[in-house]
Amino acid sequence: MRFGIVRFPGSNCDFDCERAVRSGLGEVPVILWHKEESLLGADIVLLPGGFSYGDHLRAGAIARFSPIMKAVRAFAAAGGPVLGICNGFQILCEAHLLPGALIRNRGLRFRCHSVYLRVESTVTPFTGEYGERQILCLPIAHGEGQYVADADTIDELERDSRVIFRYVDRAGETTTDSNPNGSLRGIAGVCSAKRNVVGLMPHPERAISQLLGSADGLGVFQSAVAALASLEGVAS
């Protein structure tokens, strides 16, 4: 089983994803340079955070045209698990692999601190190991994380349980104060119609060890391993 981590110019959480996979799972991921056109046999694709192309124009707008994205698109279309974190989420939205868009935070400021998230659906390759409505503590670090989409899209996401993570308070309630960026309905992460592509703004890869404050993010990576194992089990 192989994690592939895409590196765009300006990605800066690629190292953190790599470290999470190594130290959290004991796996050695493969780094996928954006100018490549192959996923080098990766079974799970991670689009890390950062500022691809300096976030110029719009966050993720330019990265989506990278050669590697053709391969990612094909991989996603074939049902392969793809996770976009922060800038990776923005890229997936720009590439229309996920619905909606991420605009400047309410209040315009970059915000970095811990947030509480509620797992809204465990039916994705990246949340299967969490409990239903489990509360996680993960860091955020973004300036453009306000999730928006038109009303029909939002309704559809809610109806199909495609909202995967929601910002909540410690007690698990959605409140204005617990929503760090003004996202509609406190949406922190969504998935594609086929549920194999997931994007979220918070950083699970930074929450792998209690030494740094939280190990709640590890489940995202463990879920991917488990999902893949069960797929392979079905296949064999």
Partner 1 sequence: MIRPRPGILNPEGQTIERALRDLGYAGIEGVRVGRTIGLRIEAADLTNCEQLVREACERLLANPVIEDFEFHVSEVSNPPLVAG
Partner 2 sequence: MTPVEPGVLASREAVPPRVDSAASAGRTPDRDDLLSLAIRHGLTEEEFDAILRILGRLPSLPEVGVFSAMWSEHCGYKNSRPLLKTLPTTGDLVVEGPGENAGVIDAGDGWGVAFKIESHNHPSAVEPYQGAATGVGGILRDVFTMGARPIAVLNSLRFGSLDSARSRYLLDGVVRGIGDYGNCVGIPTVGGETIFDPAYEHNPLVNAMCIGIVRLDSLARGRADGVGNPVMAVGARTGRDGIHGATFASAELDESSHESRPQVQVGDPFTEKLLLEASLELIQRDLLVGIQDMGAAGLTSSAVEMASRSGSGIDIDVALVPVREEGMTPYEILLSESQERMLLVTHPDCVADVREVLERWDLQAATIGTVTDDGTFRVRESGQVVAEIPVTELVHGCPTYTRDAEESPAAKRLREMDLTSLSGLDTDSEAAEALLSLLQSPSIGSRRWIYEQYDTSVRTNTVVGPGSDAAVLRLDDTGRGIAASVDGNGRYVFLEPRRGAAIAVAEAARNVACSGARPVAITNCLNFGNPLGTAVYHQLSEAVAGMGEACRALDTPVTGGNVSLYNETPSGPIYPTPVVGMIGLLASLDHVVPCAFQETGDVVLLLGNTEEELGGSEYLAVRYGLVAGAPPALDLAEARRLVDFLVRAAEAGLLRSAHDCSDGGLAVALAESCIAAEPAPLGLDTQLRAGVGAAATLFGESQSRVVLSCTAGNEARLREMAREYDLPVTGLGSVGDPHGGFRVATETLQIDLDVDQVRESYESALPGRMEREAGLTS
Q: What is the side-by-side order of every strand in the sheet holding 82-85?
A: 30-33, 3-7, 44-47, 82-85, 197-200, 187-191, 163-168, 111-119, 135-142
Is there a catalytic annotation at residue 36? Answer: no
Is there a catalytic annotation at residue 203? Answer: yes
Is there a catalytic annotation at residue 86? Answer: yes
With CA atoms as reference, report the closest residue to 49 among 96, 81, 101, 10. Answer: 10
* Binding of partner 2 by 168 (CB under 8 A): no
The CA distance from 166 to 34, in Å, is: 30
With CA atoms as reference, report the closest residue to 181 among 149, 148, 146. Answer: 146
* Binding of partner 1 by 105 (CB under 8 A): yes
* Binding of partner 2 by 172 (CB under 8 A): no
* Binding of partner 2 by 21 (CB under 8 A): no
Token pair for 112: 């970095």
* Binding of partner 2 by 201 (CB under 8 A): no
For the bound state, the minimum distance from the C-beta of residue 108 to partner 1, rounded and expressed in Å, comes to: 5
Nearer to partner 1, 172 or 182 (CB): 182
Which residues of the chain form contacts with partner 2 (CB under 8 A)? 9-10, 12-13, 15-16, 19-20, 23, 35, 49-51, 53-56, 107-113, 139, 141, 143, 170, 203, 205-206, 208, 211-212
